[in-house]
Amino acid sequence: MIPFIAFEWVWQWLAYLLSNWSFLEVLEYLGSFSVLVAVIFYFSESGNRIKQRHYQAWQVINTAQGKGGSGGRIEALQELNADKVPLVGVDVSSAFLQGLKLEDANLLRSDFSAADVRGSDLKSANFTSANLRSANFRNSDLEDASFEDADMKDVDLWGSNLSRASFRDADLSGADLTFADLKDVQWKDLKNVTGTNLFGVKNPPDGFLAWALKNGAVQTQAEDK
């Protein structure tokens, strides 16, 4: 057993000597300091990482421009909007964007023409001067949305919530508003309602139906699509 006892004794003395070596203590402090530096660099670079993420999202949207399908655009649009990035002028024409969630989105001069945006949450979205021609917004929530000066020819708003939406200077000719909720909509400066289907609309403002029918709107029951 003597060799083993001697071996253990050597290691005990070695441990004692190292415990009093200041250099090891310095190394320990340096290890902690390196972690602190790494944390500082991580947070200092967070702005660049966010910019890179936004760039990649825009790349997804622009690469798929003019194409059908989603192509990852739903996630990209929602990510940008969640970071309060304006979506001014975005082109998602003909895209498949069902269930899109862009509450409070700034979609000024955007192009949603012929896009399928059924069942989407677009509350308080700004569609000012947007191209929504032939877009499908069926059963979408468009409460408090702004459609001022928007091209909404032949847009499908069947069953959508349009409460308090603004239609100042909007062109709604040929649009389908069947069963849409029109509570407190701003309609008095509408540009065109020729052929607009108002069958079964809910909560129409006082005077709206009479004015619209006088100016070319219709009330035709159509099959649910």
At position 147, the amino acid (one-letter code) is F
SS3 (DSSP) at 56:
helix
What DSSP string describes 1-27? -HHHHHHHHHHHHHHHHHHT-HHHHHH
- Evaluated on CA atoms 113, 116, 117, 118, the torsion sign reads positive
- Rounded to whole angstroms, the Cα distance separating 147 from 46 reads 36
Instruction: Give me 124's structure tokens.
Output: 């308080």
- Rounded to whole angstroms, the Cα distance separating 207 from 184 reads 12
Distance of alpha carbon 19 from its chain centroid, rounded? 59
**H/E segment holding residue 79:** helix 73-82
Mean pLDDT, rounded, of the chain: 86
pLDDT, one tens digit per residue, over 7-41 is 566 656 555 555 565 554 554 655 555 555 454 54
pLDDT, one tens digit per residue, over 194-219 is 999 999 999 999 999 999 999 999 99
Query: What integer pLDDT is reported at residue 65 of this predicted model?
Result: 84
pTM for this entry: 0.78
pLDDT, one tens digit per residue, over 27-86 is 465 555 555 545 454 445 555 778 888 999 999 999 888 778 888 999 999 999 999 999
Q: Which CATH number fits domain 45-214: 3.30.870, 2.60.40, 3.90.70, 2.160.20?
A: 2.160.20
- Rounded to whole angstroms, the Cα distance separating 189 from 47 reads 44
